[in-house]
Structure 1
């Protein structure tokens, strides 16, 4: 099924480019604009479907994730060290994405016009980001109002309170926790249904963009994809370097050991698909079962290094495309927002798109920008999925070293 979906995405990209180029060459500018507006029906519906799932998905996954964190607290010292590493890695990943997109500026050459409903001055309302307004805006007057308006930070604050309260109750309010888990499962299934429509949205988005912009848009995509993979390479180098510094030269053998799980994650665009093999290879390398079975599952919810880097890189790419400048304070706010909203999203199909959609909405950036990155999202999902595997493997090795839980490697079974 994954392979078939990949083929459908590739076919949608090729067909979208072909149809867009034919329309660009064969239609007058007015006809081309009308054709693109017709295709926008498909893309507008897809965007509305993504916005539809943001609020319940973030609420359910965050509440469930926090409520189940009792296990991390019970582990005590290991849990604190693990979460400390995850938070640090999250900040580093997000910051590298931010710095690299500023350095490479992959979206600067496109210069799309802001939608009619927005202007360059209104796209990001600076008055919204005074310290007083920002702090008071964090707290929702009504969770119903916050969800209706997709006020992502307000939903996060409410979810943190609810999740913490559930975890603090002696019996953990089993009925409420079961309900939240069920809502999370339902929303994951709904998200899967929405993402099955991605090939249609990709076709419409590419055909519309190429119709109005010409094949020059492909150069922008090349810079975007190339710049992101360069950023991933830097993150890989940093992760490997830190692991060697903490664990020692033996960490290089770990990177070699997880090459097959990383390749599986890359080819399937799913780091979850590589989970069983990653856990097996970590224990073969020497991470104790106690540490590996604790750190790795937690990492799949709280330590998605590649996905977090993509969120900053893609969001600021969209801002560059539309010529919107974000202040330093706004970008720091974005880092904090992304660090929180990206947690607990493991297993969500195209989770990064959902997080980016919420971020665009919060900063009042053009939602149409999501369609630009959607066209090449699968290519980038492959890289960030492999990076998630590497990041979680390094985390497990580092925590095992800190806990003196690195054992002798498990020998390979003799083959007759």
Structure 2
């Protein structure tokens, strides 16, 4: 409960304001948007510094190279499994059957990233850093490898100082998370009410059920192979999950999750390599959402796909999803890009998912749990996981 109450109280206050004074509640959205802006400006440079630092060691030491190889193999397997799990769940649960397509063209549905009419102009003009993680990888990896050729220069120390300072600033910004949670909840309830789109409740229930099953079965199996109880691990990082849930940003959990994993027994040489790459290449919740969203749209449009079309859809979704980031709205934007590439359903049908994108918290939570499990699995595979620290931390996490 320690990590829950500081965010639950402002969320409850935002809910009350949204129901009692909708027009005033909508004006609270800048609190959440400013928080996301700040996280973007700070977290992406942090990931860049972590990637540069990690890549610079790959050419000098054998161990980080082995860790990276294990991580990439794990990410590839999890990406494919999450996509297949999303497709299978969509076919089994049929969330798109009976969808009301008339609402797809409704102008009342907000588009992620669109500024409401009541938004102050200064925030609309404030640029946001929405870096594609593939671009971060493309820039950081060669820079780090080049830096590894010149270890005696001052640049490695400068990169490390930047990393530490960014960590400190982000910890300060995270103190604003309750205000962001209040603004996000107040604006959402003030604009849409409690049940804005009843026909989509089936899809919301289906994606949450599929995500929970994926976490328990797939991630639970991976954790079991690493010798860790998944449920105890979830209890251990529950404060970070609360933070991600109420702020709608998995980036908010990056710094505290890294510290928690090191206390869990994952050495920094693992977390500094695996975690930033995981935030770029191991978004299991987003992949599952994209696959299930594609099935939902094809079912809603009454489109039947053959095996070759399904294989093409899976391949394109795997490629386009690698550009997704950890902020709410990136998943539906990536899904929209995939739909546009595939030409399977009319692109305008994507509007049916825009209005409920902010409810897809299961996508973010699955991603964060997947990031943590990836670090533990790689550390266990590299035989550098501190089993005593793991047992001690998980034992203390048993009690709420």
TM-score tier, shorter chain, comes to: 0.5 to 0.7
How far the C-alpha of 1:403 sits from its partner, in A, is 0.8
| Aligned: 1:372 with 2:352 | yes
1:254-286 CA distance string (max 9 Å, x none): 232112212221122111111122112111111
Corresponding residue to 2:247 among 268, 278, 300: 268
In structure 2, the CA distance between the partners of 1:170 and 1:397, relative to structure 1 (3 Å rule), is closer
Q: Give the equivalent residue in structure 1 for 2:340.
A: 361
CA distance in structure 2 between the aligned counterparts of 1:108 and 1:80, rounded to whole angstroms: 42
How far the C-alpha of 1:302 sits from its partner, in A, is 0.8
How far the C-alpha of 1:86 sits from its partner, in A, is 0.7
How far the C-alpha of 1:344 sits from its partner, in A, is 4.1
Q: Give the equivalent residue in structure 1 for 2:89.
A: 100
Larger radius of gyration: 1
Q: Give the equivalent residue in structure 1 for 2:366.
A: 387
Q: Which runs of 5+ in 1 are unaligned?
A: 16-63, 117-155, 173-197, 208-214
Q: Give the equivalent residue in structure 1 for 2:322.
A: 343
Q: Give the equivalent residue in structure 1 for 2:205.
A: 226
How far the C-alpha of 1:327 sits from its partner, in A, is 2.0
Q: Which runs of 5+ in 2 are unaligned?
A: 1-6, 23-47, 106-131, 149-183
Q: Give the equivalent residue in structure 2 for 1:300.
A: 279
TM alignment of 1:14-413, pairs within 5 A:
70-71=55-56, 74=59, 75-110=64-99, 112=101, 218=198, 220-249=199-228, 252-347=231-326, 349-364=328-343, 365-380=345-360, 382-407=361-386, 408-409=388-389
CA contact (8 A) 2:56 2:146 kept: no
1:132-181 CA distance string (max 9 Å, x none): xxxxxxxxxxxxxxxxxxxxxxxx9x989x87996799689xxxxxxxxx
How far the C-alpha of 1:314 sits from its partner, in A, is 1.2
Q: How many residues align?
A: 287
Give the RMSD, CA atoms, in angstroms.
4.3
CA contact (8 A) 1:239 1:394 kept: no
In structure 2, the CA distance between the partners of 1:7 and 1:88, relative to structure 1 (3 Å rule), is farther
CA distance in structure 2 between the aligned counterparts of 1:401 and 1:387, rounded to whole angstroms: 21
CA distance in structure 2 between the aligned counterparts of 1:402 and 1:70, rounded to whole angstroms: 20
Q: Give the equivalent residue in structure 2 for 1:145.
A: none
CA contact (8 A) 2:71 2:274 kept: yes
In structure 2, the CA distance between the partners of 1:290 and 1:366, relative to structure 1 (3 Å rule), is same
Counterpart secondary structure, 2:347:
coil
Counterpart secondary structure, 2:389:
coil
In structure 2, the CA distance between the partners of 1:348 and 1:266, relative to structure 1 (3 Å rule), is closer
CA contact (8 A) 1:311 1:356 kept: yes
